[in-house]
Amino acid sequence: MVGLVSNQGSRTVRRCPWRLVPAGRSRGFTLLETALATVIIGVGVLAMIEAQASFTRTNDFSSNSATGNYLANELRERMHLLPRHDPVSGLYTIVAGGSSTVRGWGAEAGENGILDYDDLDDFDGAVFGAGGAFAGPVDATGTVLQEISDSGAPVLDEQEQSVPLRGWSQRVSVEKVDPQNVATVRDGSYSRAAIGTTFAGLTVGQFPLRVTITVRFQGPLDTEPHEMAKLVFIAPFSPTN
């Protein structure tokens, strides 16, 4: 391509029209600017990742809390119509050698599981599910709840058997409490003598019972189970066993 020619005094200057000369000096990013931009972008990305992780943890806790409350109420439903003590033998004491021994507390002979339990004190110390002596967790009918996959199908083990709901347990505590103050726990053999004609007295089996159902869950990444729900109810004072 032919350039433009102009005369400047005694010199001839050839100018190339395709060559652009910048008005000022051009330069790229410095190392410091690049590092600063990388730090800013990295902080933003980490903040987004932490926000997502926090959302996931909150969502998991909400789901587990709802499941825990459901399991506690299912066991409460199973127990709420039962008498406080065995309908046949009741709760009584045997006095021998100057000491009293309470009888009738806990599961009676032949009662080997939730379907056999016919009174509230049978449940004292029972654990249904992970870490317990009984399969579980259970629903209001005493049926063991099964693990369900995301597709809605039951999860099966290597023997093609249904797998119980993993990581969950229902723990029951039954305590004999004072009728005037249910925060006061009384010994199983505790009773109250009659006072003239104004108070007929209370036998060992006539006191209220405080039942506590604690639901725990241990996920696959947890080192120990966490309490997800606790339900407490009072089986009230009764003038009879």
Tokens of 171: 């723990």
| Proportion of the chain above pLDDT 70, given as a percent | 80
Which one is predicted more confidently, 46 or 1?
46
Q: What is the pLDDT of residues 24-66, one digit of tens each?
A: 555 666 777 777 878 888 887 887 777 766 656 666 677 888 8
What number of residues does the chain have? 241
On whether the CB atoms of residues 111 and 122 are closer than 8 A, the answer is yes
pLDDT of 78 > 70? The answer is yes
Is residue 185 a contact partner of residue 147, using CB atoms and an 8 Å limit? no
Instruction: Encode pLDDT of 119-147 as tens digits.
Output: 999 999 999 998 888 988 999 999 999 88
The overall average pLDDT reported for the chain is: 81
The C-alpha angle with vertex 240 and arms to 101 and 125, in degrees rounded to 5, equals: 50
SS3 130: coil
Higher pLDDT, 153 or 224: 224
Q: Using an 8 Å Cβ cutoff, are 167 and 218 in contact?
A: yes
CA distance 69 to 62: 11
**What is the pLDDT, as a whole number, of residue 16?**
53
Look at the pTM and tell me if it is higher than 0.85: no
d(CA 56, CA 112): 41
Residue in 239, 215, 211, 210 with CA at minimum distance from that of residue 227? 215
pLDDT of res. 239: 57
